Structure 1
Amino acid sequence: MLRRLSIIALTAVLAASTTQAATAEGGKPVSHDRPLSRAYGALGANFNQNLDALDYRELRESGTKWVRGFFPMPATDQGDPAGHFAISTITETAGRGYDTILSLKFPYDRASFPEPGSAGMAAELARLDKVLPAVLNKVDILTIGNEPFIESLPAERDQRLNAFYETVARHVIDFRREHCGASCGTALYMGALNRLDLADRRTPAAERWMTFVRETPEIEGVDIHPHVPAQADAQAFLDYILPKMRADQTFLVTEFSLVWLWKQHLQDPIPAEFAQRYGFAADTLVWQVIKAAIDSPFSERQWTDFLTGSPWFMSQSGFLRDQMRLYRGTGRLAVATYGFKQDDLMVTNFGPAKDPWLLNSVFAPYTVQPRANGLSGRGFWLADFKALQKRAGAR
């Protein structure tokens, strides 16, 4: 069933009562009155660009009801976006009764933003006109942007970034009003802000981003991506966004991790007990063990022994629980989604300088042998991920 919720009279610390509507599996999503805001503290599965790796058996095993991925807008030029695997998968998933988030990715890290009113902007808006019919009233949440302050030229992370994304957002809002109506079942968020734990990322452009979010009634809130070197650093994201939002707005956390902490330890020596048990030289480094697991996947027991034997990792073993407690404790969390599955980009050319995203994953198909039933090998985080499904906000 596809579930839709509305939150009425949202306060800063408590999500209020909800209503729910459903359809039979495989049916069309149910339209409903436009939600004021959605704050139910769910934890879902993030696939980023790898929605084609989605396995419904793994979703059921983990208990998740929310699925998130992104669609790169240039892919629109390659054919009908409804046929692209990202959009076809997310809409099929919605049709199966899962709640869904799709982020629209605008990669301008190698080219300048088109100016409003220019031919380049007209071309970008024409792409939107092809994408939006395929997703509106099908996905629950559409996020305008993926990581704008990364997917842009450093010199243009100023008013030019704001002008581009505000033009795109207004176009999406107008299109939704004209073609989906007041009862459209897709909520709009702006996303996503990165590294707000660093003072130099809290720029005038970031301030303007939050002003636009606050002053645009059709925007439900903002997305954040707290990839941080320490758990405590995530608080800076909340301290920044919450005072700048309307009281009825909520936030998404569609990516979060300790990847920058993990990276600090890639050149640490591995635990002596692990080295002795599994035949590694005493001076083997962490990244070399990970590379060995990529080259010849470990048993689930060996991968678990590697991680649980590493003090730098186990000191953060409560990361998922702690972060969800932080986000849910605001009463303003709509949905958080966590890295669900290792992908090929994570393991390509793995070495001591590689960002170790693969240590975040709930399922570990590239470092752990597949199970006899054909499901991916399980990563460290599955038990907590599954347990946290039971403590989501009221639905």
Structure 2
Amino acid sequence: MDTETRKNPLARRRVLALMGGAALIATGCTQGEQRPADKTSHDPEGRASADGPAEGPDGALGANFNEDPDSVTFGELRELSASWLRGFVPMPEVTADAAHQRAIAKLLDAHHQGYGTVLSLKFPYNHRPIPRPGSSAMDKELARVDRVLHAVLDTVDVLGIGNEPFIESLPEDRRSGAMNTFYETVAEHIIAYRKKHFPARCRTHLYMGALNHLDKPDERTAATDRWLSFTRRTPEIEGVDIHPHVAAPQRVRPYLDYILPRLRDGQKFLVTEFSLVQLWKLHLKDKIPARFASRYQLPPDTLVWQVIKEAIEHPFPEEKWRDFLAMSPWFENNKHFLRDQVGHFRDTGRLAVATYGVTQGAAMTENFGPDKQPWLLNSLYANRTVERADDGSPAHNYGFFDDFRALQRQQDRRGS
């Protein structure tokens, strides 16, 4: 397909979307809602019940910026028709005014612009022991948590307690139970804070953070069982998050088979990250398809990772990038992974929110080689491997962008 033929009809819409996003950013609030400590919460959409949080999301699909809020604009979100946005805050970055931390500020802006929001708290203890209850280190962490809660509670829709705790902790802390104890302490502190400051109701729903590698039997341990047991027996916790980054589509199902029977009736799950990045990595050292090599006059023994590296260093025309993916069976046969998995998640009737990565971040492209995790193949926009359009807008990534737009539903928009 000719690249310019596809882009030109979109140029005016892209410019308008980007201009609209810029205007809303200019007028949007960049601070958290400052509320007296004893104020009872409210829900401007009228969705709150008399004795609990506002009605929660049900099967929504949103966009995810992870730790890099500057990597996506509201104009790009509008072009995707996205209605939800997720990111995580590295807790060491939290200072006296948490509302100024970049991820939090982005989500507060998103809230005031009408987006549903999901914030995950990331505690990076993968290189040092996790704090023990009663220690000065735990006191410092809880003080940071309080700053975040002051900025976001009753504003963000979903708060994830932990990002990827089973990766962001030491093996010995997972084996000993210290990791579980830490996160249970944090969760109980958040519950108590919410009850004190919002005794009647609060729009923010609490979920325990994300479980990884549940498709591998040896990763289903006493620690993961305890994680879900705590989730199940704690009335204020509404479910658990999962991050299925897998090597085959069928390896997502074991996550659901593991968590759903362990949740109580009425609890739901988040999927704030999911992808086939492990599958993509398996093919980085493959030879490129002969048809692609012939069309673009490349040596037939060129490897997949070498083409990606070339696209990073010298972004391709959109047609060339599309051909590269469409002619590679490992990608072409899985180009509807996003569509299919969201369908499976929704079919359970237990999905709260799933979110998917928007852009190719800078870290994804640094020192790219055969052993690099190819996260950039997942993204909705091919903003670092494809030339930008004449209006400056990024190219749509093949397969995923169109499916993401098609999966958006009016019922998932806040206030609908």
Q: Does residue 141 of the first structure (1) align with residue 158 of the second (2)?
A: yes
Structure 2: distance between partners of 1:36 and 1:245: 21
Structure 2: distance between partners of 1:40 and 1:371: 36
- The one-letter amino acid of 1:351's match is G
Alignment counterpart, residue 150 of structure 1, candidates 163, 167, 174:
167
- The one-letter amino acid of 2:322's match is T
Q: Which residue of 2 aligns with 1:92?
A: 109
Q: Which residue of 2 aligns with 1:81?
A: 98
Distance verdict in 2 for CA 1:37–1:224, change over 3 Å: farther
Deviation, structure 1 residue 64: 0.9
Q: Does residue 196 of the first structure (1) align with residue 214 of the second (2)?
A: yes
Q: Is the 8 A contact 1:43 1:392 kept in 2?
A: no
Q: Which residue of 1 aligns with 2:75?
A: 57
Q: Does residue 346 of the first structure (1) align with residue 364 of the second (2)?
A: yes
Q: Which residue of 1 aligns with 2:296?
A: 278
Structure 1: distance between partners of 2:54 and 2:158: 13
Deviation, structure 1 residue 218: 0.6
Q: Which residue of 2 aligns with 1:385?
A: 404
Alignment counterpart, residue 107 of structure 1, candidates 114, 119, 124:
124
Secondary structure of residue in 2 paired with 1:47: strand
Structure 1: distance between partners of 2:373 and 2:107: 27
- The one-letter amino acid of 1:326's match is H
Q: What do residues 4-51 of structure 1 show as CA deviations (whole Å, max 9, x unaligned)?
A: xxxxxxxxxxxxxxxxxxxxx958783633248735211110110111
Deviation, structure 1 residue 135: 0.8
Structure 1: distance between partners of 2:206 and 2:378: 27
Deviation, structure 1 residue 181: 3.2
After superposition, residues 116-195 of structure 1 pair within 5 angstroms as 116-158=133-175, 159-195=177-213
Q: Is the 8 A contact 1:37 1:249 kept in 2?
A: no
Structure 2: distance between partners of 1:366 and 1:110: 31
Q: Compute the TM-score of the two structures, normalised by the length of structure 1.
A: 0.90
Gaps of 5+ in 1: 1-24
After superposition, residues 165-314 of structure 1 pair within 5 angstroms as 165-314=183-332
Secondary structure of residue in 1 paired with 2:305: helix
Q: Which residue of 2 aligns with 1:334?
A: 352
Q: Which residue of 1 aligns with 2:43?
A: 30
Q: Is the 8 A contact 1:136 1:180 kept in 2?
A: no
Deviation, structure 1 residue 391: 8.4
Structure 2: distance between partners of 1:368 and 1:115: 48
Q: What do residues 347-377 of structure 1 show as CA deviations (whole Å, max 9, x unaligned)?
A: 1110000010100000111111122222222
How many positions carry a matched residue from both structures?
Answer: 370
Q: Is the 8 A contact 2:53 2:204 kept in 1?
A: no
Deviation, structure 1 residue 334: 0.5
- The one-letter amino acid of 2:406's match is A
Deviation, structure 1 residue 392: 6.7
Stretch deviating more after TM superposition (385-394 or 283-292): 385-394
Q: What do residues 163-211 of structure 1 show as CA deviations (whole Å, max 9, x unaligned)?
A: 0000001111111111233321111100100010001110001000000
Gaps of 5+ in 2: 1-26, 34-41
Q: Is the 8 A contact 1:189 1:221 kept in 2?
A: yes
RMSD: 1.7
Secondary structure of residue in 1 paired with 2:383: coil
- The one-letter amino acid of 2:113's match is R
Q: Compute the TM-score of the two structures, normalised by the length of structure 2.
A: 0.86
- The one-letter amino acid of 1:338's match is Y
Q: What do residues 45-69 of structure 1 show as CA deviations (whole Å, max 9, x unaligned)?
A: 0110111222111111111101000
Deviation, structure 1 residue 221: 0.4
Structure 1: distance between partners of 2:164 and 2:380: 22
Identity over aligned pairs, percent: 54
Q: Is the 8 A contact 1:41 1:392 kept in 2?
A: no
Structure 2: distance between partners of 1:392 and 1:328: 14
